């Protein structure tokens, strides 16, 4: 039986989990792909740290030394940030080494160029673990929805943000305490600003966009808001109105134009993302043939991420053709002057806003208002302290009055 030689970049929460799973499921891999799997090297940062890595495996902080191991077949990357990872992966792909990565920031920035390098090096680049943790969204879009026209993707892509919003709502804790708990569970990024300011979900949306449209938008034209600044009072008043706040990344295609957004949204009961709580991610996809599909599962954490990495790894040896599909659409810039419906929270709403409905807050002083306004107007009211927060309504085209009661 031939042997597949694997090198690991990174031995943190995810890297060590991948290592342990490979070591403990050797016979399963052999059965699945008909080859032995051997870990030949691990790239680490701090050589003085004690790690549980078997003798005979090269453990080094030098990528050069790692790459010099003869005949590496696959590199599994689980490190943070763009560099040095992008340089490492590029060199591996040039040499014809397949790459499996969980690094969304790197892919959002360098995915296109790495794909080109992979094609030149006749290697494969796989990245299921980079979006939605253990939820197989990349494979679903690549392999299972090729004939469908996908018109709408709404997704919770940052487990930390969803966990924090759930913790605040269910346990009435403050933002900092909820964030601390997410960090303790190993969900948050090394810099949790990536999570709570929406960058992590933004990178993941860019990866999905590239997969679906074959290109990315101008990043400055995509609305990106995180959950920092959402208070318990916001959540209580929005929930009193029968809605929930969820941090949503969306891509909508209409008449060959695509709109992308990453922001906290007001989600009505019955919406596919309404019940998604804790660290779960979920992706709701509208396909013209398949209808509405929802994939849901843990979006962060060692084992779910290792699961996606290793499913990718096995897939490397089960397929040769991995073409991307693409939708023909231009990408729309955000228009902050367009009149839209929003859910705004405030003790009282200034007369300038066109109020359609009002829900009286039960516990907080705040009320929730359904208003028709431009984003620019609401941004100004927010800056002036006239409103506490505002949220776009999830679920384009839903009949609002049918789904929520008026509680004035």
Catalytic residues: 204
List residues bridging with 281 in a β-sheet.
Answer: 297
Cβ proximity to ligand HSE: between 173 and 382 the closer is 173
Regarding 198 and contact with ligand HSE (CB under 6 A), the answer is: no
Q: Convert 244-257 to b/e letters by CB count within 10 Å (16 or more is b).
A: bbbbbbbbbbeeee
Distance CA(114)–CA(208), nearest Å, equals 16
CB under 6 A: which stretch of 35-43, 152-160, 336-344, 360-368 binds ligand HSE? 152-160
Stretch that binds ligand HSE, among 153-161, 313-321, 343-351, 361-369 (CB under 6 A): 153-161
Q: How far is the CB of 383 from ligand HSE (least distance, A)?
A: 29
Residue from the set 17, 90, 152, 160 that interacts with ligand HSE by CB under 6 A: 160
By the rule CB under 6 A, 159 interacts with ligand HSE: yes
Q: Should residue 203 be labelled a site residue for ligand HSE when binding is judged by CB under 6 A?
A: no
Which x/- pattern over 165-194 shows residues binding ligand HSE (rule: CB under 6 A)? ----------------------xxx-----
CB 133 to ligand HSE: min, Å? 6
Determine how β-strand 223-224 pairs with β-strand 257-268.
parallel
As measured in angstroms, the least distance from the Cβ of 210 to ligand HSE is 17
Give the footprint of ligand HSE on residues 387-406 (CB under 6 A). Answer: none
Binding mask 211-250 for ligand HSE (x = CB under 6 A): ----------------------------------------
Among 101, 142, 158, 389, binds ligand HSE (CB under 6 A): 158
Query: If we measure between CA atoms, which residue out of 188, 191, 128 comes closest to residue 158?
Result: 188
Mention every residue, 6+ apart, whose C-beta is less than 8 A from residue 242: 268, 269, 359, 403, 404, 405
- Angle among Cα 386, 395, 108 to the nearest 5 degrees reads 90
Q: How far apart are CA 141 and CA 314, in angstroms?
A: 18
Strand order through the sheet with 3-9: 58-60, 36-43, 3-9, 74-77, 98-101, 125-126
* Contact between 200 and ligand HSE per CB under 6 A: yes
In angstroms, give the least distance from the CB of 255 to ligand HSE: 32
Of the pair 160, 345, the CB lying nearest ligand HSE is at 160
Strands 58-60 and 125-126, by their bridges, are unpaired
Least separation in angstroms between residue 187's CB and ligand HSE is: 5
In the complex, what is the shortest distance from the CB of residue 135 to ligand HSE, in angstroms, rounded to a whole number? Answer: 11
Toward ligand HSE, which CB reaches closer, 77 or 200? 200
User: Minimum distance from CB of 320 to ligand HSE (Å)?
Assistant: 29
Contact region for ligand HSE (CB under 6 A) — 48-56, 71-79, 88-96, 155-163? 155-163
Please tell me the distance from the alpha carbon of residue 262 to that of residue 247, in angstroms, as a whole number.
7
Kindly tell me which of 200 and 263 has the beta carbon lying closer to ligand HSE.
Answer: 200
Residue nearest to ligand HSE (CB): 160
The residues facing 42 across adjacent strands are 8, 59
Residue 312 contacts ligand HSE per CB under 6 A? no
Rounded Cα–Cα distance for residues 391 and 239 (Å): 13
Count interface residues toward ligand HSE (CB under 6 A): 11
**Given candidates 287, 299, 361, 395, which one binds ligand HSE under the rule CB under 6 A?**
299
Query: What does the binding site for ligand HSE look like in residue numbers (CB under 6 A)?
Result: 133, 158-160, 187-189, 195, 200, 299-300
């Amino acid at each position: 039986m031939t042997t597949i030689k694997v090198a690991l970049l990174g031995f943190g929460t995810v890297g060590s989990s991948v290592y342990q799973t490979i070591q403990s499921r050797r016979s399963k891999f052999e059965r699945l792909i008909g080859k032995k799997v051997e870990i030949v090297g691990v790239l680490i940062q701090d050589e003085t740290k004690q790690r549980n890595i078997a003798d005979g495996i090269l453990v080094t902080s030098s990528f050069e030394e790692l790459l010099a191991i003869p005949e590496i077949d696959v590199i599994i990357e689980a490190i943070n940030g763009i560099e040095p990872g992008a340089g490492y992966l590029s060199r591996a792909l040039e040499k014809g080494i397949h790459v499996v990565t969980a690094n969304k920031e790197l892919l959002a920035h360098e995915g296109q160029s790495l794909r080109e390098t992979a094609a030149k090096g006749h290697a494969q680049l796989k990245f299921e673990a980079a979006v939605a943790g253990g939820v197989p969204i990349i494979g679903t879009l690549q392999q299972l929805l090729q004939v469908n026209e996908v018109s709408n993707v709404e997704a919770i892509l940052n487990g930390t943000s969803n966990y924090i919003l759930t913790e605040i709502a269910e346990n009435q804790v403050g933002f900092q305490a909820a964030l601390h708990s997410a960090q303790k569970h190993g969900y948050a990024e090394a810099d949790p600003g990536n999570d709570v300011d929406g960058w992590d979900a933004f990178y993941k949306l860019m990866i999905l966009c590239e997969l679906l449209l074959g290109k990315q938008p101008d990043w400055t034209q995509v609305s990106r808001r995180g959950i920092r600044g959402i208070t318990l009072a916001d959540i209580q008043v929005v929930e009193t109105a029968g809605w929930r706040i969820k941090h949503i990344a969306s891509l909508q295609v209409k008449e060959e134009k695509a709109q992308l957004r990453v922001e906290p949204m007001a989600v009505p009961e019955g919406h596919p993302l309404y019940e998604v709580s804790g660290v779960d991610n979920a992706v709701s996809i509208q396909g013209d043939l398949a209808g509405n599909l929802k994939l849901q599962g843990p979006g962060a954490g060692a084992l779910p991420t290792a699961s996606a990495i290793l499913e990718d790894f096995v897939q490397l040896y089960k397929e040769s053709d991995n073409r991307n599909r693409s939708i023909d659409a231009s990408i729309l810039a955000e228009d902050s002057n367009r009149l839209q419906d929003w859910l705004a929270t405030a003790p009282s709403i200034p007369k300038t806003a066109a109020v359609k409905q009002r829900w009286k807050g039960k516990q907080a002083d705040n009320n929730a208002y359904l208003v028709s306004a431009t984003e620019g107007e609401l941004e100004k009211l927010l800056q002036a302290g006239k409103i506490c927060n505002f949220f776009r309504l999830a679920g384009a085209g839903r009949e609002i009055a049918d789904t929520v009661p008026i509680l004035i």
